[in-house]
Amino acid sequence: MSYLEHSVKSVPGGLRKVLFLNWPIILLLVSVSGVGFLMLYSVAGGSFSPWAEPQMKRFALGFAVMFVVAMIPIWFWRNMAVLGYVLSVLLLIGVEFFGTVGMGAQRWIDLGFMRLQPSELMKITLVMLLAAYYDWLAPRRTSRPVWVLIPVLMILFPTFLVLRQPDLGTSILLLTAGGGLMFLAGVHWAYFAAVLAMGVGLVTAVFQSRGTPWQLLKDYQYRRIDTFLDPSSDPLGAGYHITQSKIALGSGGITGRGFMQGTQSRLNFLPEKHTDFIFTTLAEEFGFVGGLSLLTLYALLILFCIASALAARDRFSTLVTLGIALNFFLFFAVNMSMVMGLAPVVGVPLPLVSYGGSAMLILMAAFGIVQSAHIHRPR
Amino acid sequence: MRRPDRLSQALGRTTSRRALLLGGVQLAFAGGLALRMRQLQVDQADQFRLLAEENRVNIQLIPPTRGELFDREGKILARNSPSYRIVIVRENAGDVQDVVARLSQLVSLDEEDLIDAIEEIRKSPPFVPVTLADRVSWDEISKVAVNLPALPGITPEVGLTREYPQRGDFAHVVGYVGPVSDYDLSQIEDPEPVLRIPRFQLGKVGIEAKREDVLRGKAGAKRVEVNATGRVMRELDRREGEAGADLQLTVSADLQNYVQARLGEESAAAVVLDVDSGDILASASAPSYDPNLFVRGISVADYRALNEHQYRPLANKTVQGLYPPGSTFKMITVLAALEEGMIGTEDTVWCPGHLEVSGRKFHCWKRGGHGHVDLVTSLKRSCDVYYYDLAVKVGIDKISAMAKRFGLGVKHDLPMSAVATGLAPNRDWKERVRGESWRVGDTANASIGQGYMLSSPMQLAVMTARLATGRSVTPRLVKSINGVEQPSGAGAPMGLNENNLRVLRRAMYAVCNDRRGTAYGSRIIADGYRMAGKTGTSQVRNITEAERRAGVIRNEDLPWERRDHALFVDFAPYDRPKYAVAVVVEHGGGGSKAAAPIARDVTLQALYGGTPPLDAYPTKDRDRIAAQQRALNQPPPDDRPDGSDRA
């Protein structure tokens, strides 16, 4: 029996819960999504179809989901962690057999009303499972090798499945988020130092294996790394995306070229302008000011999550909130680095802004859990 | 109830600490992103803005309309006529194969072109128009227009193409245009971008090439916005070009038609000059070719046939062909002597049929000799010995200098292709070029226009015009550009003794009108139209002493390329000269037989401004001339009404 359940009486109940929602976070979510609608409207050439309108509908649905999830007590979600993880893993194995092929990878299952990307779900359920695990684990065992090995396996198994899809971006995100959560849980720093050393070794191995029969990555993944390292080597081929993206960003200048005036996006010089590269359109049309504003909104969202996590009284709430915030951070950090030419093109969308159904719904559900933790903390 | 133990609390503190640490790292990363954004959007913004503009803005050239060419009466010589082509746009066509199959039932499509076109369609973006057939006839294009609803993606387009309605008659003067080749581009320093427009045509030969500068005009340009695939989204702005200038030539098309027809299939050239203005009224070179063939892109077989023809139809012999002037040069030799005061007009020389010059025998064309000859007789009967004797006294340098004053061995500044300089040799030249010293024998040869002496029909015509007027007339081909009259070729007096010239003209008159003159057979008898001229027969081979003893082989018995060149120069009317004419018939035999009749007919045609009356001819020739006139006035069989037929 945990400390949490004994404090139920001091937790708000019924409709009073609404008053205890973390309103700043809701406001930030609406703002960020609003930026997304605006940009999707712009890249469609000033039209709600084909992207802005479905995105708004999904946001409405996601908002409802967040609200429902927030109303359900946090200990319910803690108890659901194992189930959610198992379900995600099953779905990940499922995509191997029933998945739809898109962009050279098996990534999603068509549920009829939406396409579910199990890897997106996995990011959240992994964080929940790890948070629940450290909530359950006796504090003295936290840094014992066996009890460190268990969460490592929990992380590596889905990471391996995602890598097989193959989705390099998401697997790196899973690995980083999982490792980050173990760090937050208080595992001894020596482990991380060891892993870091091994990571360097692995990167070396990845590059050394290129061209041999036991090659670790697909050819296109290597090429993406190549073009990242030197985009000018192939400006009309594989480096085209990064080059055009930087041109779009740079030509925006300080104040941008004006709403719907971005020539790079309007004339299709930008690749995947409604999904992975939507930030370039924003930066082109609203300039440095626009880009910095969105970055500030994201940073504030992270700060409010950390503040909420520090105020929580139980480990699950703290860790799950921090984990979700970390995930969110990784999303936008990797995406922005990619479009600014600081990271290889790995196919990570800009959270809440890029067009995409399952990512939006799952993120809103995740923020529902953050809200639930916020509401159901003893006061 | 389990209170949190100390260990749990410690762990909680660790978590909080690490959360703050990680939060800090995240914020720092966000700051890093902001700095990168600043670098791209503030520091390098200008550079990227330029790149974005380069991406989006394309400059497309609007080709200028080429200037047209007219004769002195305003008859069209080169025009831009509409040409129709059939163009397909893949994205509108749907099934390209199907559409092309249906189109081929209406229009005859060239098999090879079609394969190329389909390859091009496959390679280009779907919105790029690809030409399926070029120079389609009006009939075929109307058939396509009627059936357009059944031919999605097909558009009939109209463009301009160069057409030469005068065909072969002006091939050498006007020349032709053709598509810009890689070779052309390599010849031009910093070629204008307009030359890189596909299908753009450039003057290749003749006036078309030489006055390309004014004919071409200036290309316009439009700036268009394109998307990533190159599709034009909208026009941003445009700057209209400037059409090329129209040129009016000094040539009279009617006279040119006649001269070209009169030369017929001989390998010959003829020039008619206005002696006062220097206007080239006709410049004909035979045989000729149809310049329209080159505009369309001549077939290899046709080109080879033209290029390997023994009579060299591609060469413009009036300025490009160099011939020993033969006896037509004698006026220069005698004038050099007269101007030096070395002889009087009445002095005589004894002609025994040859003259020994520094141990070598130089023969007169008449084996028995002419006896005592004075200036007029020597010219009239074309005695050679008289000139050998004169030349040896005067010396080559004086003769050469006089030749140059008359435009021989001097390159005339004409907008024609491959204008030759010719040669009026002197001591210095031989030493410089041949590395040998000049011999007296060379002077003897030069005195009768043989040896090293070389001149073009155009130069001979200019020489004759200067003899007729005593002024340094220069030839002029372009009368006006866009209505602006060009400088006349009328020249200043040459400063020669008018008495000497008068004697010389009288001698030339005798050549044509004295019963014993070499061109008496080709005289004009109409009063006020009589001409003065000089025959020339220039050898292209050496006659050996052995041959001379056995009797010189007659021209008719020699292969064509070893026969003598026949030349004739004249001006008319004798008393108030208007026209100067020069005719050269390559390997035509004797000048009086082969060249003089042509020159007489051409002179009469010029004098009368059309078919001359028969009573201008000697009585016994009239029947023959009448038949000849009827034959020449019939239109040539291949004269089709327009150039719309496809080659």
Q: Is B452 helix (H, G, I), strand (E, B) or coil?
A: coil
Q: Do B19 and A291 touch (CB under 8 A)?
A: no
Cis peptide before A166 (omega within 30 of 0): yes
* B58 contacts in chain A (CB < 8 Å): none
Give the DSSP H/E element, type plus range, for residue B209.
helix B206-210
In this predicted model, what pLDDT tens digit does every residue of B333-379 receive, in sequence order? 999 999 998 888 888 999 998 998 888 889 998 888 899 999 999 99
B51 and A CB contact within 8 Å: yes
Residue of B267, B285, B327, B538 with catalytic role: B327
- Checking if the pLDDT of B239 tops 90, the result is no
**Residue B89 pLDDT greater than 90, yes or no:** no
Burial of A96 (0-12, 13-18, 19+ CB in 10 A): exposed
Greatest alpha-carbon span in chain A: 65
Number of domains in chain A: 1
Q: A340 vs B48: CB contact, 8 Å cut-off?
A: no
Non-local CB neighbours of A219 within 8 Å, separated by 6+ positions: none
Domain that holds residue A253: 3-190+235-375
> Looking at residue A313, what is its pLDDT?
85
- Which helix (H) or strand (E) covers residue A300, if one does? helix A278-311
The reported pLDDT for the residue numbered B644 is 39
Averaged confidence pLDDT in chain B: 90
Interchain contact, B18 vs A183, CB within 8 Å: yes
Amino acid (1-letter code) at residue A151: P
Q: Provide the pLDDT for residue A102.
A: 57
* pLDDT above 80 for B645: no
| Residue-wise pLDDT tens digits, B526-568 | 999 999 999 999 998 888 888 888 888 888 888 998 999 999 9
With respect to residue A209, please indicate whether it lies within any of the assigned structural domains.
no
For residue A293, CA distances in Å to B34, B86, B498 come to 10, 55, 99
Q: Is B68 helix (H, G, I), strand (E, B) or coil?
A: coil
Give contacts of A322 with chain B, Cβ < 8 Å. Answer: 15, 19, 22
Going by the DSSP 8-state scheme, the letter that residue B169 receives in this structure is G
pLDDT, tens only, B12-35: 899 999 999 999 999 999 999 999
Angle between helices B440-447 and B385-394 (to 10 degrees): 130
Query: Quick one: tokens of B85?
Result: 């082509």
What percent of chain B has a predicted confidence (pLDDT) above 90? 60
Whole-number Å distance between alpha carbons of B483 and B219: 22
Give the pLDDT score at B637: 52
Number of residues assigned to chain A: 379
Residue B16's alpha-carbon distances to A126, A131, A152, B319, in angstroms, are: 21, 14, 22, 101
Across the A:B interface, residue pairs with CB atoms under 8 Å apart total 141
Name the superfamily (CATH) of residues B253-633.
DD-peptidase/beta-lactamase superfamily (3.40.710.10)
Residue B604 pLDDT more than 60?
yes
Distance (Å, whole) CA A121 – CA A219:
27
Q: What is the pLDDT of residue B534?
A: 96
**B327 in active site:** yes
Among chain A residues, CA nearest to B231: A267
Spatial distance between the Cα atoms of A117 and A108, rounded to a whole number of angstroms: 4
Q: Do B52 and A251 touch (CB under 8 A)?
A: yes
Q: In this model, does residue B641 exceed pLDDT 70?
A: no
Residue A215 inside a domain? The answer is no
**Ranges of H-type helices in B75-149:** 90-93, 96-106, 111-123, 138-146
For B60-249, CATH gives: 3.90.1310.10
Does the pLDDT at position B405 exceed 70?
yes
pLDDT tens digit string along B298-314? Answer: 888 999 999 999 999 99
Which H, E and C letters describe A127-155, residue by residue?
HHHHHHHHHHCCHHHCCCHHHHHHHHHHH
Give residue limits of the domains in chain B.
Answer: 60-249, 253-633
Residue B228 to residue A268, Cβ atoms within 8 A:
yes
B55/A contact by beta carbon, under 8 A: yes
B17–A contact, CB cutoff 8 A: no
d(CA A17, CA A74): 12
Question: Which of the pair, A69 or B192, is modelled with greater confidence?
Answer: A69
Per DSSP, the residues of B451-483 read TT-BB-HHHHHHHHHHHHHSB----B-EEEETT
Provide φ and ψ at A235, rounded to 5°: -65, -25
Contact B36 A342 (CB under 8 A): yes
* Confidence grade of residue B635 (pLDDT, cut at 50, 70, 90): low
pLDDT at residue number A104: 46
Nearest CA-CA distance, residue A309 and chain B, Å: 9
**What digits encode the pLDDT tens for the residues B206-224?**
999 999 999 999 888 888 8
Least CB-CB distance to A295: which of B14, B33, B51?
B33
Is the confidence at residue B640, as pLDDT, over 70?
Answer: no
- DSSP state for residue A9 in the 8-state scheme: G
| A213 within domain boundaries | no
**Residues with pLDDT less than 50, chain A:** 1, 104-105
- Per-residue pLDDT of B138-180, as tens digits, reads 888 888 888 888 888 888 888 888 999 999 999 999 999 988 8
